[in-house]
A and B are shown apart, each in its own frame.
Chain A
Amino acid sequence: MKTGDRIPAWEVPITPTLVVSTAIATRDFQDVHHDRDLAQHHGSKDIFMNILTSTGLVERFVTDWAGHDTDVKGIAIRLGAPAYPYDALTFTGEVSSVDDGIATIDVKGAVSLGDHVVGTVRVSTGSIAGGAA
């Protein structure tokens, strides 16, 4: 892994099933993530993806590319446009630095309304350290 390496774009179709199943799998029962009537009552266009899922998909995007043995040290994201069903979430990424065995990868996840998440993922470039596998 070296500075400037790009991760091939990954497009995730956002379905109601994805939004609901990930919300429940992350044990997030806020109505805006599974009940469209209530989401609209709260002023939202539709149900929308929760933050734990945006973070989980960022993890998958980076580790599917870097290798499943890669240790993720941190994920920092800024949240923007909501990810609504019937849209697509497209991730892109690029290694911005490699220092002392830690690579920092700039990641963006965009939807039709704009950037849904923008952030960085730090991964260990060495072998698994302190892993449980």
Chain B
Amino acid sequence: MTHPLSHERIMAEAERIKALGETAEREARDPVNQPTINNWLEAMGNDNARFRAGAAPPSMAQVWTMYGQGGKPSEDDPLHGMMEVLTAEGFTAVLGTNCEQTYERYLKVGEQLRVTTALESVVGPKQTAMGEGYFVTSRNTWYVADEVVATMLFRVLKFIPKGAK
């Protein structure tokens, strides 16, 4: 079982990070662009002509603000921060469990995106098939200028792998 003091520390940090709200804002490396769309279409085998005529695939929203090779979350990133807290308490393993994306509209080639991250909730400890862990949910919001164009709720299980002490 999770030590009561450990649980207290985890939940105190969760409250502190949640209170930061939408933070760790960052810009997409590149504007929405056709070559990146084309690579994605080829890899996915998607032949939708709409995506060769100025629109970007909606499920690419997250692609534009990926960290890329060697990129890392900033120290003030809420999800990263919560992961570090749980790792320090022995919850070393991570598994994505839910991803809920909402698209307000399709993006257009040439648009510049930025994204923010907020910690939505931390729930646990729970006994799962993977081991004991906490469910950590973050919310990303993508903007073009001040317009919200997409959001994502992303949940991971941060757990103590079975057999680990």
Interface residues of A, Cβ cutoff 8 Å to B: 18, 21-22, 24-29, 43, 51-53, 55-60, 63, 68-69, 71-79, 129-133
Which B residues form the contact surface with A (CB < 8 A)? 39-40, 42-46, 48-50, 53-60, 62-63, 66-70, 95-109, 161
B55 cross-chain contacts in A, Cβ below 8 A: 131-133
Choice from B42, B48, B103 contacting A25 with Cβ under 8 Å? B42
> In whole angstroms, what is the CA distance A21 to B99 when docked?
21
Known: A63-B48, A131-B105, A132-B108. A26 touches B54 (CB 8 A): no
Taken together as a complex, chains A and B put the C-alpha atoms of A132 and B106 apart, in Å, by 6
Bound Cα distance A26, B49 (Å):
19
What residues of chain B lie closer than 8 Å to A28, measured between beta carbons? 66
Asked whether, in the complex, the Cβ of B58 is within 8 Å of the Cβ of A59, the reply is yes
Shortest distance in angstroms between A23's beta carbon and chain B's nearest beta carbon?
9
Whether the pair A55, B99 counts as a contact (CB closer than 8 A) is yes
> Bound complex: CA of A58 vs CA of B100, how far in Å?
12
A63-B106 Cα distance, complex, nearest whole Å = 14
In terms of DSSP, what is the predominant structure of the interface of chain B? mixed
Q: Are B44 and A55 in contact (CB under 8 A)?
A: no
Using known A-B contacts A52-B62, A131-B55, determine if residue A76 contacts B50 with beta carbons closer than 8 Å: no
Q: Could you name 14 residue pairs across A and B whose Cβ atoms are closer than 8 Å?
A: A24-B39, A26-B40, A26-B66, A52-B63, A56-B44, A60-B46, A69-B50, A72-B103, A74-B100, A78-B97, A79-B95, A79-B97, A130-B104, A132-B54
8 further A-B contacts with Cβ under 8 Å, apart from A24-B43, A68-B48, A74-B100, are A29-B68, A29-B69, A56-B60, A60-B44, A68-B49, A75-B99, A76-B101, A132-B109
CA distance A55 to B150 in the complex (A): 14
The answer on a CB contact under 8 Å between B99 and A76 is yes
B72 to chain A, nearest CB (A): 11
Inside 8 A of A43's CB, which chain B residues have their CB? 161
Chain A: minimal CB distance from B55 (Å): 4
Asked if B102 and A73 make an inter-chain contact with CB atoms under 8 angstroms apart, the answer reads yes
Query: Max chain B CB contacts within 10 Å: which of A52, A71, A130?
Result: A52
A60 to B97, CA, bound (A): 21
CA–CA, A2 and B55, complex, Å? 27
Judging by beta carbons under 8 Å apart, are B59 and A55 in contact? yes
Q: Which of A68, A74, A77 contacts B103 (CB 8 A)?
A: A74
B96 and A74 within 8 A (CB): no
Interface centre among A51, A74, A76, A132 (most CB of B within 10 A): A132
